[in-house]
Structure 1
Amino acid sequence: MPRPRTWKARSELAAALSPRLAVLYPDLTVSLDWETPLQLIVATVLSAQCTDERVNRVTRTLFPAYPDARAYADAPLEALREAVRPTGFFNNKARHLKGLGRRLVDVYDGEVPRTMEDLLTLPGVARKTANVVLSNAFGLHEGVVVDTHVKRVTHRFGLTNEVDPPRVEKDLMRVLPREEWHPFAWRSILHGRTVCYARKPRCAECPVADLCPSAGKFG
């Protein structure tokens, strides 16, 4: 099928894709293990350039050792580095977690805030992480989570021609109804993990190939 050229065509394509993806990926449970908003924001920070499976292995011991924002704020930086080392980029991640804990304690009484504006003031938190926390911890949909999978899959679907995540998010917010911002993004992530690989996507086996203008173009 041709790549959609107008916003109306993109919106119509998104509307056709949404129910099909819902059948394929009915479970909207995030694959990171968490029980509290603090645990979710920490796990999401650690998930940068790391698999959720590995993050979950790390947080099994990290969460009991650091049960609240104060624990991260007061933790020796070297101890945090060692605790999160398996997730990669551990120097930056440790600094982010300590700074995040400190700001939560100093400004938000140790609680994770519930607005995009406030979340973006936390060290290590950009729009992707903020959207994950707002959607999953608080049921608030202020934007669309755009990770590498969402960026790749929605570009191949023709819902955006952008490559910069903030611009991709802006396009998706335009073509998707607000109630689809969270589920469509999560299902795009799952589709990217299981079918629409960065290299050698499984187009021949893709259940939505008939709706995808990129299907079969990866030899």
Structure 2
Amino acid sequence: MALAFWWVQFFGLTSGCSPPAGCPSPCSSTSVRFYQVGSVWSIPPSPTYYANWSSSNFFRTGDFLSFNFKTGENDVIQVSRHEYESCTSCNPFNVMNFGPANFQLTEEGVFYFISNFSNYCALGLKVSVKVHGCSSIDGSQSAPSPSPSPRPAPPSSSPSRPSPPRKPPVPNPAPSTSPNYGYPPEVGAPASTDHDKSMATLMERGRWFGVGFFEIIFRLAFEICLVGFVILG
């Protein structure tokens, strides 16, 4: 048993259990990949070195991380997110003191690793990796281009507005006829001309003048006779 433990520690396989013993089953062996964390597990040249390395890779369950360091000069500690951010290892999940160390990613989620050697973690020697399921698609691979969407049909030309109905022509007002002096117009009589209208007016005026004149003479003669009878009387 001690020999088996030493063998696991030497090769860095400290995930704690194998898939048949209860760990989530990794992807098929043909799809398993090994990722070397940086060229060497050491103090990075920039604070974002390991973050950039992690974001440039796509990890699936069953893949391996390889930490390249010399035994006694460095180590790898799997910790929680809180301890990852504070660079502490009070409650480590896994401790890898023998290099180079390999770690299998057996489940989906985010794994956090730091160096507990000296103040290396404070100097940027830590890394977090996000592990996807076997069915996840590598975002770095070019996705098939979507089929072009059909072109929208050109808008149908709007129907021309119907022309407004034409208004019937307004007839010119008929010329006003001269007053008929109380006589109703004769049905079917031809339209009178201006000459006929003038003659009718003169005849009407003469008729009125003749009647008035003879009435005055008659009344005057009657009054003379009446005066004569009174004088002779």
Q: TM-score, normalised to structure 2's length?
A: 0.21
Higher helix share: 1
The structure number with the bigger radius of gyration is 2
Specify which structure has the bigger relative contact order, considering alpha-carbon pairs within 8 angstroms and separated by 6 or more residues: 1
Q: TM-score, normalised to structure 1's length?
A: 0.21
